[in-house]
Structure 1
Amino acid sequence: MNLKLNHIPNIKDNVLQITGSKSETNRLLILQSLYPKIEIENVSNSDDSALMQAALKSTNEVVDIHHAGTAMRFLTAYFAVKNGRETILTGSKRMQERPIKILVDALRQLGCEISYEKEEGYPPIKIIGKNPETNKVSLAANVSSQYISALMLIASSLPEGLEIVLEGKVTSVPYIKMTLSLLKDVGIQGSFENNVINIHPLKITLPKRVVVESDWSSASYFYSIVALSNNKSVTLGSYKQNSYQGDSALAEIYRELGVETTFHDNQITLTKSSVSNDLDQLELDLSNSPDIAQTIAVTCFGLGKACYLTGLHTLKIKETDRLEALKVEIEKLGGEVLITENSLKLASSKSINSDISIDTYHDHRMAMAFAPLALRETLLINDADVVSKSYPDFWNDLKKLDFKVL
């Protein structure tokens, strides 16, 4: 499905309810499968979370998680400790190009039995569930936090818990802390100190009810919309000021881009600042929140501001090579972008090309990050239904703000 977004001069103030965080939901679904007394409210309606739920209920030998990267990592660890169960875990063509070796090697340290069905280091993988032989594992600290969280989520189900030693500089710390906080919410004790994570075993669980906070990554697109609008506001629910999600850094980051955030009654209101912002170049280290890099880069482009974003090394192994995709699409619109293995530098620009077709590369965030530019020029979004991966209601919510989605 391709969509056309006609240029609009401004948005309409509105209140939107954003679906539960995909990151929180997928962690809690693993824990609920291990401990069925856990109840989850405000579950994400994303494709990824639906695929996770289906995989956890499946009794088939082959489990296909399509494009769901989080599910691939979390389920690899989950099935590895399901004693006696044999599973072939596979996914889409792109998923079979995304590395899994670091997690597999870590699980093998525990005595888990995992082999590759095709290319060494990549899905599909064959898992023969076993009881772990040790309670200590080590892995590089500068890898995707999902590898680390995958181990943390199964740790309490092991007889002696698990000690995870992280070697080197830790990246994506907020995601590790999110996992630790959710574990504590359901009664699992753990700690994260001096590059060592310790998760205690949990023998008995009491009934627990956990409410998933709405997704801050999804909120990022509305920060962009308000930044590009003229003195308008959008209210989003349900959010809390002391969020577990690293992407809540948006509130501070977008203040530099002219958006103020007000918290009230489990909602946030994003308001265009009346104070003039003379910032020429935004410089950020996004190693703790790389998923909002695309949104920020496009916002800066729409505002005509330069930006220099670093800490982006994990973007090359996402749904697409997000750094290369951003460069190609922004340059089609008339921008100038330089990328390295872990950074993006955008030059300031005074104009935006109109009626450009934005390719999304099977990446939900590409579609949603570029959509706010309709406040500057008419554009087309190819394969627009890719947003269902994380935010199926996105286009309908834009219509509520008066976007002309055709």
Structure 2
Amino acid sequence: MKIHLSGPNNKLLAATIKITGSKSESNRSLLLSALYPGIEIKNLSNSDDAQVMEKGLRIKEGTVDIHHAGTAMRFLTGYFAALEGSDIVLTGSKRMTERPIRILVDALKELGADISYVKAAGYPPLRIKGKKLVRNKVSLPANVSSQYISSLLLIAPSLKNGLELELVGKITSVPYIKMTLGLLSEIGVQSSFEGNLIKVETKSDVNSTTLVVESDWSSASYFYSIVALSKVGTEIILSAYKENSLQGDSVLQEVYKDFGVETSFGENQIAIKKIAEASQSKIQCDLANAPDIAQTIAVTCFGLGLSCHLVGLHTLKIKETDRLEALHTELTKLGADISVTDKSLTLNITNAINMDVAIDTYNDHRMAMAFAPLAMRTSIVINDAMVVTKSYPDFWSDLQKLQFQVKEL
């Protein structure tokens, strides 16, 4: 489905929106509840990815198809490798079979896992025969996707001897690692993270415990963008959020200060308000710890006629699409002066925005949602608009609460 999108131009916006639970926290919590049946989860994400993860965890033999869900691919690889008696083929979409997984597979094999490649070496599909993993020491390059690291950490307490994981080199995506360790702590698992060494103690069972999933900060980013692109005085209230978040993307509240957007916390919610115009003409960010908000920031800058230089983006090459190239292509259509490398993006100031451009989404939910706020400046078409269900099924209806015109073509 494609939609024509136009925004509430020059209007003062106000709305209260409830955002679904974090996909990142939900998938981690689901895996932990599969390992420890005493865990109950509240505010679970209603995203496609969480549903795929939940369904996959119920299968013990045969084929598990996780479609476009990269997190599920990484987490389930570790889960099935350590699940005694399981015998599955783990597969996904065509794009998923192009996303590398060798680093995680090699680490699991080093722990004693039985994993083989069904087709191309280093890529899904994977044949996994679950067994008891008794080795407890392994190393990984420190700059890999944090999902590889979290896949190992999540199964660590279920291993007979726990796990000692050494990260070699400069660590990236630290907040996602800390999110995983924070959830382990909530269920009573002892761990330490000192220097480049992470240790997780074994735990045989967990008493009745409730994990409350915080709403998704990545999803909040699109409303930060809308507020930044709107008139001074616009205020949107989002729930349910915690001031001491486990999510790395909560750095949004600091980043968007440069756009004149203020964040205040209430009981289980945040109010985001535009109090001034952008304070500088060039936005510079190192997003190594929060790469999922890069698309949102780049589009916000373009819509406001600002320049930006974003670094720390090396993991975007292996996401649902090559997000850097996708940004380059789609922003260029709109009239942007943009250049990208394999780990950075530079946008120069342009004042004109082309109208009614059709934005391709590349099977990537974040492409659709990051470009949507630009309808505050010009009408656009979003191709394959329902790709948003991967993480935020209610996105288009929530935009309508803000007086966006969403017309199916």
Per the normalisation by structure 2, the TM-score is 0.98
What letter matches 1:258 in structure 2? G
- What percent identity do the matched residue pairs reach? 60
Q: How does 1:190-209 map to 2 (within 5 A)?
A: 190-209=191-210
In structure 2, the residue corresponding to 1:62 is in which secondary structure? strand
Supply the distance in 2 between the matched residues of 1:11 and 1:301 (Cα, whole angstroms). Answer: 21
Supply the distance in 2 between the matched residues of 1:264 and 1:334 (Cα, whole angstroms). Answer: 40
- Whether contact under 8 Å (1:11, 1:402) holds in the other structure is no
What letter matches 1:269 in structure 2? A
RMSD: 0.8
Task: List 4+ stretches of structure 1 deviating above 4 A.
Answer: none
Supply the distance in 1 between the matched residues of 2:362 and 2:299 (Cα, whole angstroms). Answer: 16
The equivalent residue for 1:308 is 309
Q: 1:110: Cα distance to partner?
A: 0.4
Supply the distance in 2 between the matched residues of 1:346 and 1:39 (Cα, whole angstroms). Answer: 45
- In the alignment, does 2:288 pair up with 1:287? yes
What letter matches 2:243 in structure 1? Q
Q: 1:351: Cα distance to partner?
A: 1.1
> Unaligned stretches of 5+ in structure 1?
none
Q: 1:58: Cα distance to partner?
A: 2.0
Q: How does 1:5-404 map to 2 (within 5 A)?
A: 5-9=5-9, 10=11, 12-231=13-232, 232-274=234-276, 276-404=277-405
Q: Size of the alignment, in residue pairs?
A: 405
Supply the distance in 2 between the matched residues of 1:108 and 1:292 (Cα, whole angstroms). Answer: 33
- Residues 340-389 of structure 1: per-residue CA shift (max 9 Å, x gap): 01000001111100010000000000000000011100110000000000
- Whether contact under 8 Å (2:159, 2:202) holds in the other structure is yes
Supply the distance in 2 between the matched residues of 1:290 and 1:31 (Cα, whole angstroms). Answer: 25
Supply the distance in 1 between the matched residues of 2:128 and 2:48 (Cα, whole angstroms). Answer: 24
- My pick for the range that moved more, 380-389 or 264-273, is 264-273
What letter matches 1:162 in structure 2? L
- Whether contact under 8 Å (2:284, 2:308) holds in the other structure is yes
Supply the distance in 1 between the matched residues of 2:59 and 2:137 (Cα, whole angstroms). Answer: 30
Q: 1:132: Cα distance to partner?
A: 1.4
- Residues 260-304 of structure 1: per-residue CA shift (max 9 Å, x gap): 001011110110113x43401111100000000000000000000
Q: 1:7: Cα distance to partner?
A: 4.2
- Residues 230-280 of structure 1: per-residue CA shift (max 9 Å, x gap): 121100000011100000000000000111001011110110113x43401
- Residues 202-238 of structure 1: per-residue CA shift (max 9 Å, x gap): 0231100111000000000000000000121100000
> Unaligned stretches of 5+ in structure 2?
none
In structure 2, the residue corresponding to 1:244 is in which secondary structure? coil
- Residues 121-169 of structure 1: per-residue CA shift (max 9 Å, x gap): 0000101111113111111010000000000000000111000011000
In structure 2, the residue corresponding to 1:16 is in which secondary structure? strand
Supply the distance in 2 between the matched residues of 1:304 and 1:316 (Cα, whole angstroms). Answer: 26
Per the normalisation by structure 1, the TM-score is 0.99
Supply the distance in 1 between the matched residues of 2:279 and 2:272 (Cα, whole angstroms). Answer: 20
In structure 2, the residue corresponding to 1:214 is in which secondary structure? coil
What letter matches 1:129 in structure 2? G
